[in-house]
A and B are shown apart, each in its own frame.
Chain A
C-alpha cells in the first residue's frame, strides 16, 4: 500500500510540480501583488493596502474596460444560435459534409495574430468590407452610383466593438459547431422520424426536439462563451490595440502589466476579473451539479 502511494506520487510529480509553479503559485502571488507596489527594477515590493484597487476604481479607462467587457456579452447569444444552426446543417446526411465541417473549422485553427492582420485589412477605411458593401449598395440601387460606403470599422468608437465581435464570430463559430455536433449526434434518429410521421414541420422539430435534446450542450457552450467573452482581449490587441475606446478588462490588465510595467495595478485588475469568472464558473457548476 505504501509502495502504491509512492508510485502514484512518482507519476504525478512532474505535473504537480509544474502546475504548482505555473498555475497554483500565480494565483497566490497575483493576489499578493494586488496589494503591493512592485518595482520592476530589482523587484522591490512594498505593501500599499488597497491603493491599487483605489487607483483602478478612479481610472476612467478601467470603467470603460469593464463596460466594454460587459457589452461584449452581446456576442454570446449570436455565437450560440449561429453555431447551433450551422451544426444542424452539417449534421444532415448529404454528400460533402466532411468538407464543409473542415472549411468551417479553418478560423479556429488559424493563429489569432495572423488572422487579425488580414481582418485589419478587411475592416480598414478603404478595405475589403467597405468595397464589398459598396458593390451591394450599387447592385440594389440604394445610393447613387458614385457614393461609396465609407464606414470606419475599427476607428469609430461607436462601431469598433461590433467589428471585434464580428471577428470573434468568425473565429469561434466553428469551435462551438463541433460541440453542438456532438450533442446533435447523441439524439436518437427515431425521435426525429416519429415527429416527421406525426406531421411536425422543420420549425416545430427544431424548437420541440432539437433544442430540448441538446439543452445540456447549450448550457455548457453558453457558459464557455460567456466566460470567453468576459476574457476577450487578444482580439482587441490584434485589431485595434485598444484604440477607438475598445479597452476590455483583460486588455487593461495586459496594458498595465506589459506596457506600463505597473504589476500591482495589473494584478489588482486581474483579481477583479478572476473574481467575476469564478462567480460565473460557480453558477456553471450549479447548473451541471443538479443533473
Chain B
C-alpha cells in the first residue's frame, strides 16, 4: 500500500512526462507526418488520422499495409534540381559563416580591449541596429545589389575592355556574395564576441604585450584560443540561420540554378509545376534532415550560445 505522499509524487511524475510528451508531439508531428507521407507508396492514407503517421505500401498480394518505399525520395532528384539547390546552400552557408566569424572577431576585439577615439559612439551605433526592422532594408539593399552588379560590369569594361557580363555575376543579382554580404556584419555577432573577449583576463594580454606581440598576434594567439566556445556558438548559429534564410535569398536569387534549398524547394513545390504530394513531402524531409543532424551534434553549443546572447 502506497502512502498518499508517495502516490502524489508518482502521479506528479506521470503527469509531467505526459505533458512533456504531448508538447513533443505538437512540435514533432509535421516532420513525422512528412516522413511517413514521403515513405508511403501513394497518398491514400495520408490524411487519415492516425493511420497517416505510419507509412503504407502495397504488398505483393495487392493489399495495402504498413511498409516503406524510397521511390519518392529518388523522384525528388529527378523532378527538381535538388543537388544544385543543395550545392548552393552549402556555398552560401560556408561564405556566411566564415565572413560573419572573421568580421565579428575583428570588430569585437578593439571594441572590447582597445582604447580609441569614438569607441562608445561606434558601439552604441552598432547595438542600436538591433532594433531596426531589417525588412525595411530589403528595398534599399535590392537597389544597392543591382547597382553593385552594374558597377562591377562597368569596372570590368574599364579594366579589361570586355563587356561580357562576368563580374556582375560575382557581386550583383544572382551572385553568392550578393546574398551573403548584407548579413555578415551584424550587431549580434559583434556583441557576442565582445562579451567573450571581455571575459579574457587582462594578465594574458599584458604578458603577450611584454613579449612584444602585435595586436594581430594577440588576437590570433591569445584571444581566439580561449574564446573557441563562443566562436563555435556564433558559427553554428550563423550556419543554421543562413541555411534556413528565405526572403532575401528569394529576392536576390532569381535564377533557378543559383537558389538555395529553402528558396528552390519552396518555389518548386508550391508552384503550378509541383509534382505529387509524396515527392513534395520527401523533398521536405531531405531539406530538413541536414539541419537536424547538424543540430543533434551541436545542440549544447547552440542552446548555450542562445543563453549567452541574452545575458
Question: Is A15 an interface position by the 8 A CB rule?
Answer: yes
Task: Let me know if B27 and A25 touch, CB within 8 A.
Answer: no
Interface residue B253 (Cβ < 8 Å from any Cβ of A): no
Cβ of B68 under 8 Å from chain A? no
A271 touches which of B19, B136, B295 (Cβ 8 Å) = B136
Per DSSP, are chain A's interface residues mostly helix, strand or loop, or mixed? helix
> How many Å from the CB of B298 to the closest CB on chain A?
10
A174's closest neighbor in chain B, by CB?
B27
B116 on the A face (CB < 8 A)? yes
> Are B190 and A15 touching (Cβ within 8 A)?
yes
Chain A: CB-nearest residue to B300:
A98
In the complex, whether B49 has a CB less than 8 A from a CB of chain A is yes
CB pairs A–B below 8 angstroms (22 shown): A4-B115, A8-B119, A9-B110, A14-B102, A14-B185, A15-B106, A22-B137, A22-B182, A23-B186, A90-B20, A110-B244, A111-B243, A114-B266, A118-B284, A128-B49, A131-B47, A131-B48, A132-B49, A134-B49, A231-B133, A234-B247, A258-B138
B23 to A23, Cβ gap below 8 A? no
In the complex, which residues of chain A have a beta carbon less than 8 angstroms from the beta carbon of B190? 15
Q: Please, how many angstroms separate the alpha-carbon atoms of A23 and B103 in the complex?
A: 15
Question: Contacting B288 at CB < 8 Å: which of A90, A110, A134?
Answer: A110
- Would B52 and A111 count as touching, CB distance under 8 A? no
Q: Verify if A53 is at the interface (C-beta below 8 Å from B).
A: no
Q: List 6 tightest A-B contacts by C-beta distance, closest first.
A: A26-B140, A270-B136, A281-B131, A15-B107, A18-B185, A111-B244
Contacts across chains A and B counted by CB atoms under 8 Å = 253
Question: A135 touching B34 by the CB < 8 A rule?
Answer: no
* Chain A residue, CB-CB nearest to B137: A26
A-binding segment of B54-62, B157-165, B224-232, B302-310: B302-310
CB pair A128–B27 under 8 Å, yes or no, is no
The majority secondary structure among interface residues of chain B is helix
- Among the listed A15, A118, A179, which residue makes an inter-chain contact with B30, where contact means beta carbons less than 8 Å apart? A118
Which chain A residues have a beta carbon within 8 Å of chain B's beta carbons?
A: 4-5, 7-9, 11-12, 14-19, 21-27, 29-30, 33, 43, 86, 89-90, 92, 94, 96, 98, 100-107, 109-122, 126-128, 131-132, 134-135, 170, 173-175, 178-179, 181-182, 217, 220, 227, 231, 233-234, 237-238, 250, 253-254, 257-258, 263, 266-267, 270-271, 273-274, 277-278, 281, 284
For B109, the chain A residues whose CB sits under 8 A away are 11
Taking CB atoms, residues of chain B closer than 8 Å to A131 are: 47-49, 52
B215 and A7 within 8 A (CB): yes
Q: Which residues of B contact A234 (CB under 8 A)?
A: 246-247
Residues of the B chain whose Cβ atoms lie less than 8 Å from the Cβ of A179: 306-307, 310
A96 to B18, CA, bound (A): 13
Task: Contact check, B47 vs A111: say whether CB atoms are below 8 A apart.
Answer: no
Q: Most A CB atoms within 10 A — which of B102, B131, B284?
A: B131
Q: Which of B33, B139, B185, B291 contacts A266 (CB 8 A)?
A: B139
